[in-house]
């Protein structure tokens, strides 16, 4: 009985990619890993509407190492990965995109590193990443994130990584709903290392992370990992008080010296507009945190599952943060392969 190597593949409208990525993984497994690991490929369909569901269904029918989770609607990439981590049974779990951008071949090196004792192996894309604007924004984001939070994320990390069972179990225990997995994994600790790869172009279909979606993820990330922006109001307020005290001193001296005081209408208006703008920005920052509190206190699950294919022995099922419409038997296994031998 070999340990299981799991691949978690979030899918949102990737009809023409799912079969290709599965073939690439299967070839990799049979050529390089078959004597050491059993394979599990776990598709998490995030509410696709382009026929991906049917393709995944037929792939799962044809091979018993393919499993699939179908969400009731689109819940987002992070939710899909969370679900994958929750259902995966492997001793090591590789999460990667299903659009062929992430080369499977690099997983061999990732496994070597894991077997050397690292619990987390990040796959980091080298600087030749396509799209200047996107890579500039992403670099700026990681700068700001690492500056404002105590958790450090490796730039270029995306969601391509191998984690050990230990890490997944710890991640599954975290209670929060708004998840930024890229930050949660370094936050958990554990020993980590990285391997680098060259990002391939998307094989087909549309990229799902436009500017605004990425910005949304960035805001989730910052508000979950840092409260420094909340303190911005203190800094701004103090700064403006200093400026106004200085200006008051200046005008008093000017008045004593017999200067005119009625001038300065333009600067007055400019100052009012500026301070109003700043106050609104500070409100907006606070509102982001307030919104996060609202979202978290509602305690709605991160995703809703409408169907699981090949669910016998689903790994960690508990009520948070996702739930299923159907009941599934509860079965927990610490190291896959040890407690659920018959299901593999
Ligand atoms: N994805 C998802 N749900 C979403 C958006 C994307 O499951 O709401 C999946 C998508 O199918 C892909 C991965 O997440 O496998 C990364 O998305 P994409 O390739 O569009 O992002 P990019 O590589 O452009 O950052
Ligand atoms: Mg992609």
pLDDT in tens, 183-211: 999 999 999 999 999 888 888 888 888 88
- The list of the chain residues with pLDDT below 70 reads 128-130, 260-262, 311-344
For tokens 């099922």, name the residue. 317
C-alpha to C-alpha distance for 124 and 194, rounded to whole angstroms: 7
Closest ligand to Cα 14: 1
> Which pLDDT score, from 0 to 100, does residue 344 have?
34
C-alpha to C-alpha distance for 90 and 147, rounded to whole angstroms: 35
CB distance 14 to ligand 1 below 6 Å: yes
> Which pLDDT score, from 0 to 100, does residue 341 have?
37
Closest ligand to Cα 209: 1
Report DSSP state, residue 107.
Answer: H
> Which pLDDT score, from 0 to 100, does residue 127 have?
72
C-alpha to C-alpha distance for 175 and 166, rounded to whole angstroms: 17
CB distance 77 to ligand 1 below 6 Å: yes
Please work out, in degrees rounded to the nearest 5, the angle formed at the alpha carbon of residue 130 by the alpha carbons of 128 and 135: 85
DSSP 204-246: SS--S--HHHHHHHHHHHHHHH--GGGGHHHHHHHHHHHHHHH
Q: Are strands 66-71 and 303-309 parallel, antiparallel or unpaired?
A: antiparallel
Residue 255, helix vs strand vs coil: helix
CB distance 211 to ligand 1 below 6 Å: no
> Which pLDDT score, from 0 to 100, does residue 128 have?
61
* pTM metric for this prediction: 0.81
CB 6 within 8 A of CB 88: yes
C-alpha to C-alpha distance for 22 and 159, rounded to whole angstroms: 18
CB distance 11 to ligand 1 below 6 Å: yes
Largest CA distance in the chain: 94
> Which pLDDT score, from 0 to 100, does residue 104 have?
96
Q: Which residues pair with 164 in a beta bridge?
A: 92
DSSP 53-86: HHHHHHHHHH-TTEEEEEESS---HHHHHHHHHH
């Amino acid at each position: 009985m070999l340990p299981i190597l799991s691949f978690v593949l979030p899918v949102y409208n990737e009809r023409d990619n799912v079969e290709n990525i599965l073939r690439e993984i299967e070839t990799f497994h049979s050529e390089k890993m078959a004597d050491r690991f059993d394979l599990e490929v776990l598709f998490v369909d995030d509410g696709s509407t382009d026929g991906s569901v049917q393709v995944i269904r037929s792939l799962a029918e044809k091979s018993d190492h393919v499993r699939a989770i179908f969400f009731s609607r689109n819940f987002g990439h992070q939710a899909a990965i969370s679900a994958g981590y929750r259902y995966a049974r492997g001793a090591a779990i590789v999460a990667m995109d299903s659009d062929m951008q992430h080369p499977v071949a690099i997983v061999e090196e990732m496994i070597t590193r894991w077997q050397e004792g690292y619990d987390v192996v990040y796959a980091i894309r080298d600087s030749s990443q396509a799209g200047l604007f996107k890579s500039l924004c992403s670099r700026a984001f990681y700068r700001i994130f690492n500056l404002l939070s105590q958790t450090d994320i490796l730039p270029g990390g995306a969601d391509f990584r191998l984690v050990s069972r230990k890490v997944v179990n710890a991640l599954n225990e975290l209670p929060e709903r708004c998840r930024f997995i890229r930050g949660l994994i370094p936050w958990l600790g554990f020993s980590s290392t990285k391997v680098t790869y060259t990002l391939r172009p998307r094989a087909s279909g549309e990229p799902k992370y436009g500017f605004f979606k990425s910005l949304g993820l960035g805001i989730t990330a910052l508000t979950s990992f840092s409260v420094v922006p909340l303190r911005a109001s203190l800094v701004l307020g103090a700064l403006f008080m200093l400026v106004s005290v200085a200006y008051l001193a200046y005008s008093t001296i000017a008045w004593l010296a017999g200067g005119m005081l009625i001038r300065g209408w333009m600067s007055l208006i400019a100052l009012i507009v500026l301070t109003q703008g700043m106050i609104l920005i500070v409100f907006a920052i606070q509102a982001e945190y307030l919104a996060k509190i609202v979202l978290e206190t509602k305690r709605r699950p991160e995703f809703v599952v409408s169907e699981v294919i090949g669910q016998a022995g689903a790994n960690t099922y508990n009520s948070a943060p996702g739930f299923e419409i159907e009941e599934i038997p509860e079965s927990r296994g610490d190291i896959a392969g040890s407690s659920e031998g018959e299901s593999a």
